[in-house]
C-alpha cells in the first residue's frame, strides 16, 4: 500500500521531539462522536474532539504485505451509566469509524494531513455496566471487507424492481430468449 504523507508529517515522525495524538471518529445517525487520546477538548479542522485519555483504547495496529480486511476493536471506559440508554438506542451497525494518527507541533497545533490508520464500518457493540460507570466496546470491520462480499444481484425484472419499483428495463429480457432475429436479410 502506498503511503501518502506530507513532508511536515514525515519530519515530525522522524524528529527528536514527537507529539503523536490519535483522533477517533464514530459517525452515528444522531451525531458524530469524536475522541482523542489527551485531556480536555481538542479542536482540529473545525471539529471538537473530546479528551478520553487512557479511557479510549483500540487494538494494536498491524500491517502485512497482503491486502487483508482487518477489523479493529475500540473501547471507551468510565462512561456514566446514565448515558447507556443513548448507546442502546442508537443504530450503530454499518456506520463509519475512522482512526487517524496526527502529530502536534510545539504549539500543540496539528501538522497538516494526519494519517488515516483505519477506516471501516461498525459491526458489534458490547456494553459492560458497573455500579457507577460502564465500558462500551465496538468492533469495526475494515472497508476492504466490502471487496469480499458477493454481489447477489440478478438481471431480472424482479430484482430490478427491488431497487426501482417503476423501472421496466428488464421486462422484455425473457421474451428475447426464444426470439429469432434475422440480420442483414429481408424480413
Q: What is the model's pLDDT at position 82?
A: 64
User: Could you give the angle at the alpha carbon of 174 between the alpha carbons of 168 and 175, nearest 5°?
Assistant: 95
Whole-number Å distance between alpha carbons of 182 and 186: 8
Distance set, CA 16 to CA 7, 12, 73, 106, 112 (Å) = 16, 8, 31, 12, 18
Q: What is the model's pLDDT at position 22?
A: 93
Q: What is the model's pLDDT at position 83?
A: 65
- For strand 32-36 and strand 47-51, is the pairing parallel, antiparallel, or unpaired? parallel
Which of 16-20, 30-34, 173-177 is the most confident on average? 30-34
**Given a cut of 70, is residue 30 above it in pLDDT?**
yes
CB 160 within 8 A of CB 169: yes
Higher-pLDDT residue of 8 and 169 is 169
The chain-wide mean pLDDT, for the chain, equals 83
Higher-pLDDT residue of 68 and 46 is 46
Model confidence, pTM: 0.71
- What confidence tens digit (pLDDT) does each residue in 138-156 have? 999 888 777 777 778 888 8
* Residue found by looking up cell 462500551 in the block: 136
Q: What is the mean pLDDT of residues 74-83?
A: 80
CB 138 within 8 A of CB 73: yes
Q: What is the mean pLDDT of residues 74-82?
A: 81
Q: What is the model's pLDDT at position 108?
A: 85
Amino acid at each position: 500500500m502506498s503511503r501518502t504523507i506530507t513532508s511536515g508529517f514525515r519530519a515530525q515522525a522522524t524528529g527528536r521531539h514527537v507529539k503523536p495524538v490519535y483522533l477517533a471518529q464514530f459517525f452515528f445517525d444522531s451525531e458524530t462522536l469524536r475522541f482523542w487520546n489527551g485531556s480536555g477538548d481538542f479542536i482540529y479542522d473545525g471539529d471538537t474532539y473530546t479528551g478520553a485519555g487512557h479511557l479510549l483504547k483500540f487494538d494494536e495496529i498491524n500491517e502485512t504485505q497482503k491486502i487483508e480486511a482487518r477489523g479493529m476493536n475500540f473501547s471507551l471506559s468510565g462512561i456514566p451509566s446514565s448515558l447507556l440508554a443513548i448507546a442502546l438506542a442508537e443504530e450503530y451497525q454499518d456506520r463509519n469509524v475512522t482512526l487517524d494518527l496526527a502529530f502536534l507541533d510545539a504549539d500543540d497545533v496539528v501538522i497538516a494531513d494526519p494519517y488515516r490508520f483505519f477506516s471501516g464500518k461498525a459491526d458489534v457493540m458490547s456494553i459492560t455496566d458497573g455500579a457507577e460507570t460502564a465500558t462500551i466496546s465496538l468492533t469495526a470491520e475494515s472497508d476492504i471487507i466490502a471487496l469480499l462480499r458477493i454481489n447477489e444481484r440478478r438481471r431480472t425484472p424482479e430484482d430490478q424492481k427491488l431497487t426501482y419499483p417503476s423501472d421496466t428495463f428488464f421486462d422484455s429480457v425473457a421474451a428475447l430468449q426464444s426470439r429469432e432475429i434475422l440480420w442483414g436479410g429481408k424480413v
